[in-house]
Amino acid sequence: MKRLLLASLALLLAYMGFAQNNCRYQEYQQQQLTANPGLAAIYDKIEQFTRTAQTNIIAGNGNNAAPLPVPDNITIPVVVHILYNQASQNIAEERILAQLESLNKDFEASTADMAKLPVYFRPFVANVGIKFQLAKVDPKGFATSGIVRKYTGIQNFLYDDRVKNSSRGGDDAWDSDKYLNIWVCNTVSGLLGYSSIPGGAKEIDGVVINTGVFGLGTGTNKGRTLVHEIGHWLNLRHIWGDGYCGDDYVDDTPKQQMANRGCPSGEKKTCGSTAHGDMYMNFMDFTDDACMYMFTFGQRQRMRNQFEIGGPRHALLYSTAITALPLPAPIPVPEEVPMQVSLYPNPTVNTVILQTTGGQNLLGKTAKLFTQTGQLVQSFIIQSNRQSIIVSNLKNGVYFLAIENAGLTTPLRFVKQ
Ligand SMILES: [Zn+2]
């Protein structure tokens, strides 16, 4: 029994050690479908579209605006929402920029890792033709760094989309027709990231990444959890098809039995008929960051098809979040100084001054002077912010000054001596 426990522990540790690219693709999609069974038909429709879309078919879209064909190089505006519970999670801008730079290199297949690729897989490597750039214009039209930083009281986020909701400790999505939303936060142990797939609700569209694997901050991390998750965001499946020798709906990725972990080498044939075995260096496997570095032409086509006319990501081609001139920053409204009204000197003999300071004035308003018993003794129109009131003819005693429609909360009172 003890030996069995130790063996289990060893397995668990091995699993944790190699779980560099664990995402919750299946669990998350299942959760979405359970919450909204109508999604299944939408996903199916998008799947059919993804398989049949042809590059650069131009058709009318019914509103006279010329539909955009998919350009050779697509640039996607990105907003990075940084949710931090501890100061160390509020990561530096350089790390965010480094992550985007490596992401772009991975998508164009221009990393030094390519030298490690076996000769027999080289013909399959694709430059996807999609770039990611921090937004320059926010949803209201103002200039932005494309980075939103926010403290959260939540220590560990699950894959329940709480991170995408400002009222639940996260940060609301920016319009997913114009931006790719990336939420960076501390997730529960074992969860490195997850992504929505095309067809879900706009408010939860985007990618969630654990802070520790975002950017090039630590050891073996090469920022490839984000590459993998954006693959899902563009409708790629895991390379093993999430089933025993399953189907990822991509023709040029070999079938493989299950996820690969760690850093395999040599030909690893797991589903019989493949020529050179598993393509374990594919971004859509579960291998270590250092050992995954390619997308295929088939995956490129599948991702790019999302942008075709009628496709779920087509609207992003019209986003001006990088190209538009931002509106000038709004002029700050000066804080209104509350009005203060006073009477002095107090007590007085001949004259009392009614002094008004602050935001508004009392010019033109009617003031009335009363005795302590409520008898009106004088009435006048206020003509100055420093108005003299002659009181030399009044009997000694306490007097009250009332000002019509002045909104004063405390009575004005003075003593005549
Ligand atoms: Zn995944």
Strand runs labelled E in 95-250: 130-134, 147-151, 180-185, 193-195, 207-210
**190 CA distance to ligand 1 centroid (A)?**
13
Active site (annotated) includes residue 229? yes
Pair 95, 170 in one domain:
yes
Can you tell me the distance from the alpha carbon of 239 to that of 284, in angstroms, rounded to the nearest whole number? 5
**22 CA distance to ligand 1 centroid (A)?**
7
Range in 30-44, 85-99, 162-176, 267-281 the model is least confident about: 267-281
Question: What CATH number is attached to the domain comprising 47?
Answer: 3.40.390.10
Q: Is 296 among the domain residues? A: yes
pLDDT, tens digit, 9 for 90 and up, residues 139-154: 999 999 999 999 999 9
Can you tell me the distance from the alpha carbon of 234 to that of 202, in angstroms, rounded to the nearest whole number? 14
How does the average pLDDT of the chain come out, rounded?
88
List 229, 267, 336, 404, catalytic entry = 229
pLDDT, tens digit, 9 for 90 and up, residues 358-398: 766 788 889 998 998 989 999 999 988 888 999 999 999 99
**112 CA distance to ligand 1 centroid (A)?**
24
Question: What CATH number is attached to the domain comprising 368?
Answer: 2.60.40.10
- Select the more confidently predicted residue: 19 or 80: 80
- Select the more confidently predicted residue: 67 or 33: 33
Question: What percent of the chain is modeled with pLDDT above 90?
Answer: 73
pLDDT score for 405 = 83
Q: Is 399 among the domain residues? A: yes
- The values of phi and psi at residue 296, to 5°, are -100, 170
**108 CA distance to ligand 1 centroid (A)?**
20
* Residues that place a CB less than 5 A from ion ligand 1: 23, 25
pLDDT, tens digit, 9 for 90 and up, residues 313-345: 999 999 999 998 888 877 777 777 777 888 999
**223 CA distance to ligand 1 centroid (A)?**
14
Pair 223, 351 in one domain:
no
Q: What is the mean pLDDT of residues 287-312?
A: 95
Q: Is 334 among the domain residues? A: no
Q: Is 329 among the domain residues? A: no
**259 CA distance to ligand 1 centroid (A)?**
10
Pair 167, 56 in one domain:
yes
pLDDT score for 9 = 35
**Which of 283, 318, 353 corresponds to the end of one domain?**
318
Contacts of range 344-350, beta carbons closer than 8 Å, 24 or more positions apart: 346/414, 346/415, 347/414, 347/415, 347/416, 347/417, 348/391, 348/414, 348/415, 348/416, 348/417, 349/391, 349/392, 349/416, 349/417, 350/390, 350/391, 350/392
pLDDT score for 326 = 87
Question: Structural domain of residue 397, as residue ranges?
Answer: 340-416
Q: What is the mean pLDDT of residues 244-250?
A: 95
Pair 293, 362 in one domain:
no
pLDDT, tens digit, 9 for 90 and up, residues 54-85: 544 334 333 444 567 889 999 999 999 999 99
Q: Check if the beta carbon of residue 256 is closer than 8 Å to that of residue 279.
A: yes
**227 CA distance to ligand 1 centroid (A)?**
10
Q: Is 90 among the domain residues? A: yes
Question: What percent of the chain is modeled with pLDDT above 70?
Answer: 90
Can you tell me the distance from the alpha carbon of 161 to that of 203, in angstroms, rounded to the nearest whole number? 10
